[in-house]
Amino acid sequence: MKLFLFLSDFIIPFVIFGIVMYGLLQGNPVYDQFIKGAKSGFGTVLKIMPTLVGLMVAVGILRASGFLDMLAGLLGKVSGYVGFPGELVPLTIVKMFSSSAATGLLLDIYKDAGTDSYIGTIASISMACTETIFYTMSVYFMTAKVTKTRYTLSGALVATFAGLAASVVLGTWMCM
């Protein structure tokens, strides 16, 4: 176990060192290429900034207006019949848009129910096995200039619901 802890502390520095050494051995101007890549990355950040700000504002409005609580109340009654706790409906909805906002909701769940509770366990697992669908689609498709997304949204929603089902099954199993 100590070997894994040692390796986990040094794996990233070793990878970076390895990449730099490989570039130097190949005779590449490593620093110049790093600066060129950083400029390109900064340009990408500037291109996706309006999308990020729009998503953050939308999530903030949904939380502050009480709409999420109302939606959780409505959907929570239905989701309870299939075994999905109604308290996790806002977390699930927000996670589709913003992982950082969902993390804030997750911390609220931890404060109210506890981290090792049934709700806390399912929330933790669902955060790990679901994706920020709309954020990912908007950022990646905008950056790659993709206009026809075909079945991306439906596939991502199916995968999210599969992850939620798995979180309920695993959370129930772990809390027995």
Q: Please state the pTM of the whole predicted model.
A: 0.71
* pLDDT value of position 75: 86
CA distances from 58 to 30, 47, 54, 55, 161 (A): 41, 19, 6, 5, 22
Average pLDDT over residues 18-27: 93
User: For 38, how many CA atoms within 13 A lie in the half-sphere containing its CB?
Assistant: 6
CA distances from 148 to 18, 124, 131, 152, 156 (A): 39, 33, 20, 9, 15
In a domain, residue 90? The reply is yes
Q: What is the pLDDT of residues 48-101, one digit of tens each?
A: 788 778 877 887 888 789 888 888 888 888 888 888 888 899 899 889 888 888
In a domain, residue 10? The reply is no
In a domain, residue 31? The reply is no
Average pLDDT of the residues of the chain: 87
In a domain, residue 80? The reply is yes
In a domain, residue 143? The reply is yes
In a domain, residue 24? The reply is no
For 1, the 3-state DSSP assignment is: coil
In a domain, residue 64? The reply is yes
Our measurement of the distance from residue 20's CA atom to the centroid of its chain's CA atoms, rounded to an integer in Å, reads 30
Our measurement of the distance from residue 102's CA atom to the centroid of its chain's CA atoms, rounded to an integer in Å, reads 8
Structural domain count, the chain: 1
Our measurement of the distance from residue 146's CA atom to the centroid of its chain's CA atoms, rounded to an integer in Å, reads 21
In a domain, residue 32? The reply is no
Domain of residue 128, residue span = 50-174
Q: How many CB atoms lie within 10 A of CB 98?
A: 21
